[in-house]
């Protein structure tokens, strides 16, 4: 899945320094696993959505680091296209420097040609394309079912669980029936799936719930991994590293030590902040060059759009305020003002908006919010 953040936020995020992922000398005994991606993508997702490179890269790197051999498959096979992504991001840069990974994306295996007995597990990568070509792929359904029946691990992240909806096991039961799992939520789809969601064959969360899944979720775009025995699922792109680690553990291995990526560290910092850890602001000030501060601001901004209850609004405000000292952006200030207003602090909100308009008199978002606040 690709988040359609405003241009001003994307341009800011591109300026941050990148942090790499440490290598390790530990080499566990190899085992072969399967990564599945959508083959729908065209024009970097502009005319048809495909798979999410951020998710693929992180899953590939962690699985390889833990000694797994990897095959890559898509419904039709052949070359596949990811949605637009940042090639300079540390995990994407590492993936693009891996000639084996690049070659396998250029020549994915068709699902109809796969031999399920060859794999210790399968992990389905997300991206909106997964909602189009994966759910109806009967060959993929059979492969996933056989891998499960053979004692293998089944994983999926973001929109990837769409591939599990129609999987049946050897006894005729549904794989997802009665099992705890997660995936891209209705709340997330409402904000980030507007262009394509209306053309999906089904909406992910309601479809899995209807098929008996015991759905779990975190707040909007926060990391969430659910493990139910050999079934491991992740809610959104930011869940991918933890999902890959869980996949390794479900395979009977202890994940090797690694250096976390900046998005992981940033999200972990937010989680600690929301739990009331007083050290977080100081740590952010000290480590901001190795964190993705703009991501923190973006997260709070969009959580506010989805928030209904006062507690959720307060959390979104707190996240935006955490990033604000290092993110001097008028639209973030408008978001902070809106949160204050929705919490009943009208005068504080009005004062902040007036300050924004003094700097940018033509900013429509500020003027529109100020108009909404008139008695």
Query: Which residues are known to be catalytic?
Result: 158-159, 189
| CA count, 13 A, side-chain hemisphere, 120 | 17
Q: How far apart are alpha carbons 325 and 348 in whole angstroms?
A: 18
Q: How far apart are alpha carbons 194 and 197 in whole angstroms?
A: 6
Burial of 344 per CB tally in 10 Å (0-12, 13-18, 19+): exposed
361's tokens:
């008199």
Q: How far is CA 285 from CA 11, 17, 288, 293, 324, in A?
A: 21, 15, 6, 10, 11
For strands 225-228 and 68-74, give the pairing.
unpaired
Q: How far apart are alpha carbons 314 and 202 in whole angstroms?
A: 33
Task: Outline where DSSP puts E strands in 183-253.
Answer: 214-215, 225-228, 231-234
- Going by C-alpha positions, the residue among 250, 164, 246 that lies closest to residue 212 is 164
Burial of 375 per CB tally in 10 Å (0-12, 13-18, 19+): exposed
Handedness of CA 240, 244, 246, 247 (dihedral sign): positive
């Amino acid at each position: 899945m690709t988040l359609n953040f405003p241009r001003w936020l994307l341009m800011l995020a591109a300026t941050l320094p990148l942090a790499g992922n440490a290598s390790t000398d530990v080499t566990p005994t190899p085992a072969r696993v399967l990564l599945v991606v959508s083959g729908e993508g065209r024009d970097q997702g502009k005319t048809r959505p495909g798979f999410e490179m951020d998710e693929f890269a992180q899953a590939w790197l962690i699985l390889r680091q833990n000694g797994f051999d990897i095959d890559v498959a898509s419904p039709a096979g052949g070359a596949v296209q990811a949605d637009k992504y940042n090639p300079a991001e540390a995990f994407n840069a590492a993936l693009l420097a891996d000639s084996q990974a690049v070659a396998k994306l250029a020549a994915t295996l068709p699902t109809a040609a796969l031999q399920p007995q060859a794999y210790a597990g399968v992990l389905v990568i997300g991206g909106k394309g997964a909602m189009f070509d994966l759910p109806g792929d009967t060959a993929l359904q059979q492969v996933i079912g056989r891998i499960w029946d053979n004692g293998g691990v089944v994983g999926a992240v973001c929109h990837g669980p769409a591939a599990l909806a129609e999987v049946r096991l050897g006894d005729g039961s549904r794989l997802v029936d009665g099992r705890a799992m997660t995936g891209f939520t209705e709340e997330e789809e409402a904000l980030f799936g507007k262009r394509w969601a209306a053309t999906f064959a089904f909406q992910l969360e309601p479809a899995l719930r209807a098929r008996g899944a015991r759905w779990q979720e975190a707040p909007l775009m926060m990391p969430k991994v659910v493990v139910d025995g050999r079934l491991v699922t992740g809610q959104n792109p930011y869940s991918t590293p933890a999902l890959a680690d869980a996949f390794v553990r479900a395979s009977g291995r202890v994940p090797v030590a690694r250096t976390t990526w900046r998005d992981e560290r940033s999200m972990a910092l937010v989680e600690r902040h929301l739990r009331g850890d007083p050290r977080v602001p100081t740590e952010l000030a000290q480590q901001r060059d190795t964190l993705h501060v703009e991501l923190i601001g973006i997260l709070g901004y969009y959580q506010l759009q989805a928030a209904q209850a006062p507690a959720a609004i307060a959390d979104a405000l707190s996240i935006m305020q955490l990033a604000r000292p290092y993110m001097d952006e008028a639209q973030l200030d408008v978001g902070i003002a809106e949160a204050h207003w929705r919490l009943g602090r009208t005068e504080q909100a009005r004062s902040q908006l007036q300050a924004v308009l003094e700097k940018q008199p033509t900013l429509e978002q500020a003027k529109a919010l100020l108009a909404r606040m008139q008695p």
